[in-house]
Structure formats: C-alpha cells, structure tokens
A and B are shown apart, each in its own frame.
Chain A
C-alpha cells in the first residue's frame, strides 16, 4: 500500500524540462577557456517529498542545486503525504538518481537522511535543531544543514551558509548567498565604499566616504556603533582587507602628493600603523591576503598602467604577479586571493570593458572567465570554486555568481545598481 501510495502521489518531472524550470540560464554564452557545462555528468540528487517542511525543503534543494555539484531532480511540490520511512529506491533508480535527501520533523528541528539510492540504504543522518521559521536565524540554520549534506557526499561543505556584502547606492547590504534575507548593514546617513568581511564574519570594515576623504570604519554586526581604524582619520583610506587571522587590516591611503600607498594596521590592538609600499611615482592599492597570511597581492601602477603585483605581508619581496604585455594589456584591478591560495581572481580591461580573469599563482597562467558585457570586482566563495562579480549583462550592475568548473551562472537580484561585492567565509563555522 505504501509503495503504491508513493508511486501514485509522487509526480516526477522529466529531467529534460529541468532547464526550462531553472530561473537562471544554465550556460553563460560569454564563458570560455575550456569550461564546458555538460549536463548529466554530475550525480543526480533528489530531495524526497514529505509531510510539511516545504520551506525547509525548498531552501535545501536550491542550496544543493547552487553548489553545482549535483543535477538536482525536481519533484513537484505539495504532493507528499504520509510517511517516507520507506523510500521507493527502485523508482528513483529509474530516474538515474544517485542520492536522495529526506527531511522530516524531529523535535524542534528536522532529521536529515542521505539515501544512497544505488545501494538502497541510508548513508548518513543527523538531527538539525532549527529555530522557528520567523526567527532571524532560521534561513542560515537551514543553509548550514544543506552545506552538511553536500559535505557528506563530496567531502567539502557547500557554500549556502555564507553571505555577500554589496553596495547598493550609498549603503552596504548583506544578502544570503541564495539571494535571500537582504538587510542593510550601514546607516542611511553615510556613504560607504569598499565593504569587506572580517574572517569570522562578525564585523565588517568599510570606507566612510566623506568629501573626498574618509576613514576606514569597523562595524560589529551584532550591534554597536562603527569605530574608526587608527591612522585613517585623515586623507582617503580605502580597499581594506583583513589578514586571515583577522588581526591586521591592510588598506590603501592617498597622500597630498597625489600618490596612493598600502598600509597595514593592527586592528586587534588598534596600533602599529606601518607603510608597506613606497610608490613615489606610482599608486598601490587593493591589497588581498593569501590564505596563509604571508603574501599580499595588490594593484600597482608602477608599469604605467594598473597591474597585479604581490609582496610579503611586511612589504618586502615585491614582484609582478599577473603577466602582461607592456603597452598592450589593459588595466588590471580588484585582485582577490582564492581561499585555497592557488589562484588570484581579478578584472582586466579588454576593449575598455572589464572582464574576469583567474590567475594560477603557481604556473602564472590565467584564463578569461567572462566576455559578454562588463564584468568586474570578483570575489571568491569559501569553496574556491564559485566567484561572485558585478556584471551589467542584464542592463545594469548586478551581482552574478559563476561556477568556475561548469560555467553555470546565476544572478543575485538586487533592486538598484550593485557594486563591490565581497563574499564571506562560512557563517558560524561549517557544521550545523
């Protein structure tokens, strides 16, 4: 009886119509360099229907889909009554599903079971406490559960329990990586530039842009007023970046002779400002730390146009990082070191439009990731596989996320012109 029920009630959508249902185009036509999106090569996964918990299932399914590691088979919603304690493995096998994710109520949260469809057994399970759906922490708790499922299968967590900082107009906002829970993080009275996360995600740093000058502020997100970083009270201080241990903040600072140089300050003790570059006839800006904290990639105009350089975190041992043809290669800006340390993403002008590049630090080879529209200011997800960036491909500046493995892209829709995104590390750790 149960089996008949499951067969009769579960409506399955053919995999062929998957693309039509997907709100974002699966393939970016503007993506090149050896990236080909081949549907069907990723394991198929299905989020099993069950009683209630529709909002949890919807979020988990989308999160797993956005991990770009699975082909998620959609089931039509609201058709699942009764118990799912007996999963119709045979049915899902015929659909080619490798994994089934079962979510059912358990105490104040949910129990999540990962079914190995081929083996016909539960491979992993966990009870995840969830706050009430109206609670501010609800979505992030569900995202964490989804990331854990991805970790069960692939060994590395998904990227759902992360947020992006982004400028819309004068204010900085944070938004969940799936585009939900948008919230302003700076006050309406100030003009903000260069917002960046602290590594623990508990605070942000940004430039408070005044009349051509501005300090760097650090704002705790749990509450409390932003405080200025010592040494940034005069001139214009911008492009702040935390060291991976969160103790040091590197940033660029203009001077009255027209130059811009990189400084570092100990923000743990609010002391010990030191200058890392001395560019008498060149600008140095946009520092980004390698994950070991020992190297800093940055932009320098020392060759005549802005290009990507690197140095030790104390300012010594400066070298060109991204090769370029003198006089021919366009301006290169906005570097961000990948979380695994292997790559640096940046944008480079091609025919006066910026495009996203990824430099392999070891080989010094790079690939161009975008070519349609203007694409700038890349920022890495903690998996080192996804990048968010600003693109005007939809008409105005919006944040897009690209899977650098498959080339699949999606938009994080924001009402207004979006600029300067920065992706957080996992919010509150990687385990639920």
Chain B
C-alpha cells in the first residue's frame, strides 16, 4: 500500500516536472537540482487517491462480505428421494443461515421446496411444502424469528436441472432460499 502511494507520488512528481522522462534528463548542468519541492498539489492528490483506494478496498471488502452472506443465505439444501428430513451434511449450511437471519432482524426469506419429477405430480406439491417447512422448523429451533420465514412449494414444476438422470434428480430435490425483504446491506453475524 505504502509503496504504491510512493509510486503514485513519483509519477505525479514526474508529471509536475513537465512530463520529461527521468532517463533523458540532461546530466552536465553543474547547478545541483534542488530537492523536489514540497508540492502541496501532489500531496493533496496523493491523499485523495489514498482515500479513494481505501474506500475502494472497503467497498470491495463489503461487497465481498455481502456476496458471501448472500451466497450463504441462498445456498440450497438437498433431500433424499421422497424425504423431507434435513440431511446432516446440510446442517452447517442452515446454521449459517440462522446466524445471518438473527443478525439481521429485518431480513425476511422465502423457502421454496422442490422435488424431482419421479414422484406423483400433485403429491410433489405437498412434499415440496413439507421440505420447505423442514428448513423453516430447523431455523426456528436455532432461534430465528418465525416472522422472518415463509414457505412455498414448487413441487416438480421448477427443476434446477431439466435432465432425467440421477444427478439431475438429486439437484432438483432441494429447498431454495430467497430474500423477500431486508436482503441488502446484511450485517455479518458476530
């Protein structure tokens, strides 16, 4: 960071000297060139640039955090065939969601349950609802306010992967999580 500022300063100083490249500076002149004068314009520019860079960095870090929180919040969980039990491997995922929801009381999310297309079309609407409710119940048990959560079911009507094979079916048996309010500027859990 520091070296970068210095470099910027050097470039600015060079620019202030009429744009001549240092390598071409004439050597024989006897009079010693005075030390670069304190150029207040350059310092101001440097300070401005420093603060821009710092703000950029903060914004980048904040955006990264938001993206990370958002990704954690919306990461799907999956289910076994015709099951609505939360799988142990998905509990850490849900725990992160619970923490984010508790750190952001105005955040509301909708949980949508989905099914693969092998079960009965209409039964899958009920199964999807049960899958959404399973995640909802888990989050409430972790301390999330029930008012922050709502559930819907897409049954088998909105497959993530329209293919007809084991891998696609496994992907399509899921809960999806979508912020419906307060999803911007999330606070990170402590």
Contact = CB atoms under 8 A, between A and B. Distances in A.
A255 B132 CA distance: 11
A84 interface: no
A370 interface: no
A430 interface: no
| Most chain A CB inside 10 Å of its own CB: which residue of B81, B84, B133 | B133
A213 interface: yes
B115 to A, nearest CB: 12
B82 interface: yes
A193 B122 contact: yes
A366 interface: no
Interface string A230-268: 000000101100000000000010111111100000000
Most buried by B among A254, A299, A333: A254
A257 B125 contact: no
Contacts of A258: 84, 129-130, 132-134, 136-137, 151
A420 interface: yes
B112 A212 contact: yes
Interface string A290-310: 000000000101000110000
B120 A334 contact: yes
A377 interface: yes
B122 A286 contact: yes
Nearest to B154: A212
A73 interface: no
B66 interface: no
B122 A334 contact: yes
Nearest to B110: A212
B122 A213 contact: no
A376 B152 contact: no
Contact of B123 (A213, A306, A352): A306
A212 B123 contact: no
Interface string B104-137: 0000001010000011111101111110111011
Given A211-B152, A299-B123, A306-B120, A260 B129 contact: yes
A148 interface: no
Interface string A361-388: 0000000000000001100000000000
Contacts of A257: 133
A331 B123 contact: yes
A301 B125 CA distance: 13
Contacts of A283: 123, 126-127, 129-130
A253 to B, nearest CB: 10
Interface string A71-108: 00000000000000000000000000000000000000
A143 interface: no
A252 to B, nearest CB: 7
Interface in A207-241: 209, 211-213, 236, 238-239
A194 interface: yes
Max count, chain B CB within 10 A of own CB: residue among A238, A254, A258, A333: A258
Nearest to B128: A212
Nearest to B119: A331
Interface of B: 81-82, 84, 110, 112, 118-123, 125-130, 132-134, 136-137, 150-154, 157
Given A193-B122, A258-B133, A260-B126, 16 more contacts: A191-B157, A193-B121, A236-B153, A239-B122, A254-B125, A254-B129, A256-B150, A257-B133, A258-B132, A283-B127, A299-B123, A331-B120, A333-B122, A334-B122, A376-B121, A377-B120
Instruction: Give 6 nearest A-B pairs by CB, closest first.
Output: A258-B133, A212-B152, A333-B120, A260-B126, A283-B126, A254-B129
30 contacts: A191-B157, A193-B122, A211-B152, A212-B128, A236-B153, A238-B122, A252-B126, A254-B125, A255-B129, A256-B150, A258-B84, A258-B134, A258-B136, A260-B129, A260-B130, A283-B126, A283-B127, A283-B129, A283-B130, A301-B126, A305-B82, A306-B120, A331-B123, A334-B122, A334-B123, A347-B120, A352-B81, A376-B121, A377-B120, A377-B121
